[in-house]
């Protein structure tokens, strides 16, 4: 079983606090896990989903995508065929990395500044000030 091999190799005991915060996010209006989908300073977002992901299935990833589309920033979603939840730690990690890198390269010029077709910035001011 691939999942058992991944668990034995990569599992690290850690606090359950982040998981608990995410699980109860809809019940707690002051949660640290709350996402401000209207944040005007948010940069481009790429949601990558595995076709066979049972932990975060397409319905959940797509719901996040639809929620993020309320933002004026670029929001895209990609489904990786024949892939599960372990997108970046199994044998097909390079395809996921190449997908993410291609997305990032669309928003960063050779000088390190993201611009749209008119020369306007696609990245939030906080990133461009860096």
Give the SS3 label for residue 89.
coil
pLDDT tens profile 14-64: 777 777 777 777 777 777 777 788 888 889 999 999 999 999 999 999 999
Q: How far is it, in rounded angstroms, from Cα 29 to Cα 15?
A: 22
Picking from 14, 77, 18, 70, the residue whose alpha carbon sits closest to that of residue 45 is 77
pLDDT score of 125:
54
User: What is the per-residue pLDDT for 118?
Assistant: 57
SS3 per-residue string spanning 104-118:
HHCCCCCCCCCECCC
CA distance 77 to 45: 8
Containing 78, the helix (H) or strand (E) segment is strand 75-80
Which pTM was predicted? 0.67
- More confident site: 129 or 77: 77
What per-residue string of b and e applies to 73-104 under the rule 16 or more CB within 10 Å gives b?
bbbebeebeebbbbbeebebeeebeeeeeebe
Q: Which CATH class is domain 39-129?
A: alpha beta
Per-residue pLDDT reduced to its tens digit, 56-105: 999 999 999 999 998 999 999 999 999 999 998 888 899 999 999 999 99
Q: Domain residue spans in the chain? A: 1-34, 39-129
Return the SS3 of 86: coil
Query: Please, which residues bridge with residue 75 across strands?
Result: 45
What distance in Å separates the CA atoms of residue 39 and residue 71, rounded to the nearest whole number? 7
């Amino acid at each position: 079983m691939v999942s058992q091999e991944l668990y034995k190799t990569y599992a690290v005991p850690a606090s359950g606090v982040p998981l608990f915060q995410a699980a109860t996010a809809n019940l707690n209006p002051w949660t640290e896990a709350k996402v401000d989908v209207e944040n005007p300073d948010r940069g481009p977002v790429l949601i990558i989903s595995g076709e066979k992901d049972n932990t975060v299935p397409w319905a959940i990833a797509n719901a996040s995508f639809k929620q993020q589309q309320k933002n004026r920033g670029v929001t895209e979603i990609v489904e990786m065929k024949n892939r599960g939840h372990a997108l970046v730690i199994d044998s097909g990690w390079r395809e996921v990395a190449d997908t993410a890198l291609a997305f990032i390269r669309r928003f960063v010029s050779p000088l390190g500044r993201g611009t749209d077709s008119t020369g306007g910035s696609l990245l939030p001011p906080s990133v461009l000030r860096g």
